[in-house]
Amino acid sequence: MISCARHLCETLKTRSAPSRAYATAGDAGKRRLNLPVDFGKSPLLHHTSATFQNVPDLPQHGKTTKLNLYQAVNAGLRAALKEDNKVLCFGEDVAFGGVFRCTMNLQSEFGPDRVFNTPITEQGIVGAAIGMAAEGAKPVVEIQFADYVFPAFDQIVNEASKFRYREGATGANLAGMVLRMPCGGVGHGALYHTQSPESLFCHIPGFKVVVPRSPTQAKGLLLASILESQDPVIFMEPKILYRAAVEEVPDELYTLPLGKAEVLKTGSDLTMISYGRPLYTCMAAIEAVEKASPGLSVELIDLRTIFPWDRQTVLESVKKTGRAMVVHESMVNYGVGSELAASIQEAAFLHLKAPIKRLGGWTTHTGLAWEKFIFPDTTRIYDGVLELMDY
């Protein structure tokens, strides 16, 4: 009996597939599509300043520096603090540089009256920012993770978003108030460090909601949010890109338009709309599906500002291609994709050749071991393109 048991155990060991921890890379040679993004070669990043000519809003001349996304945020904050002495930066650990180093060295340069730490109280941080902005300051506050913003929801929804409306003809507003928050998955964030709650804020009028995809975008959009917007801005930074996305960034102060999408790749058969980190996955899927299907041409649009979103750019593209897919990392239910899909079918129904497709995170909490299975990957997007083309 003991001999049989030993034999069975040895047989099971032989037949069992080797296991690996969730964070290990596995054998890339056995995967066809879901390969890690090579940010060093991504066409979505400016590996040299020569590609600035493709983006009219970027400075075309002058010095540039290769920065990752957190360094670009830091550069944007430094430029804003220099440009306007009404700009303030504060939040938990901000004086020390913050968890992701976005505010590093700012206090030593601009002093503790303009860059300072706060207690651990998100509601207090946002409430203080509202009061300061109401008196003419431009507070740029950091919520350490987007997952932690919920205690401040009352201040955001019931106070900040209604302020300009309540003031009416007085013209008072909260211009320059920006709530920065790292968002999205990183591969090991689990329940409380992976959330992307942008759709919750998009339901509320009174705020702009911005999600940059790259260092040049982060600096320009952040400066526009601080120095130009007449409404408060929720500025959501995909934290996996803080160090992964590296590109040339203009040294000078510049702004990029809020509320304006950018066509990253033109196409004629399908319009793919996304923002933030998933754009890199979308591009990987597009390159693969176009290679496998000669003649297929997919247009890729970065919303940049997801509320209010650029209806004109999106609708013109969909009317041209006749097919639309919206991709985002946040849960698919009641998400940004739902709003875009409804708006597209209302305004471009007769131009559609196939149903509008939404790809988002599955409607579940993001457990530590399951994150990579929950967010849209290259294969899901690739298959989605084929489904729309075969409809």
pLDDT (0 to 100) of residue 13: 46
Residue matched to tokens 């090991």: 188
> Can you read off the two tokens belonging to residue 160?
């900040």
Alpha-carbon distance of 350 to 118, in angstroms, equals: 53
pLDDT (0 to 100) of residue 30: 52
Query: Which one of 92, 142, 159, 193 is the catalytic residue?
Result: 193
pLDDT (0 to 100) of residue 108: 97
pLDDT (0 to 100) of residue 117: 97
- Is residue 46 annotated as a catalytic residue, yes or no? no
pLDDT along the chain (391 residues), means of 10: 49 43 44 86 96 90 96 98 98 95 97 97 97 97 96 96 93 95 90 92 95 98 97 97 97 97 98 98 97 96 98 98 97 96 97 98 89 92 97 95
Which residues, 6 or more positions from 217, have their beta carbon under 8 angstroms from its beta carbon? Answer: 256, 302, 304
- Is residue 193 annotated as a catalytic residue, yes or no? yes
Strands 324-331 and 115-117: unpaired
pLDDT (0 to 100) of residue 17: 40
Alpha-carbon distance of 143 to 180, in angstroms, equals: 6
Q: Report domain extents, the chain.
A: 49-250, 260-390
Alpha-carbon distance of 352 to 322, in angstroms, equals: 4
CA distances (Å), origin 287, targets 30, 231, 293, 296, 385: 19, 38, 10, 10, 12
Which residues, 6 or more positions from 141, have their beta carbon under 8 angstroms from its beta carbon? Answer: 89, 90, 91, 125, 126, 128, 129, 178, 179, 180
Query: Which one of 92, 122, 142, 159 is the catalytic residue?
Result: 122
User: What is the 3-class SS of 28-48, one letter each residue?
Assistant: HHHCCCCCCCCCCCCCCCCCC
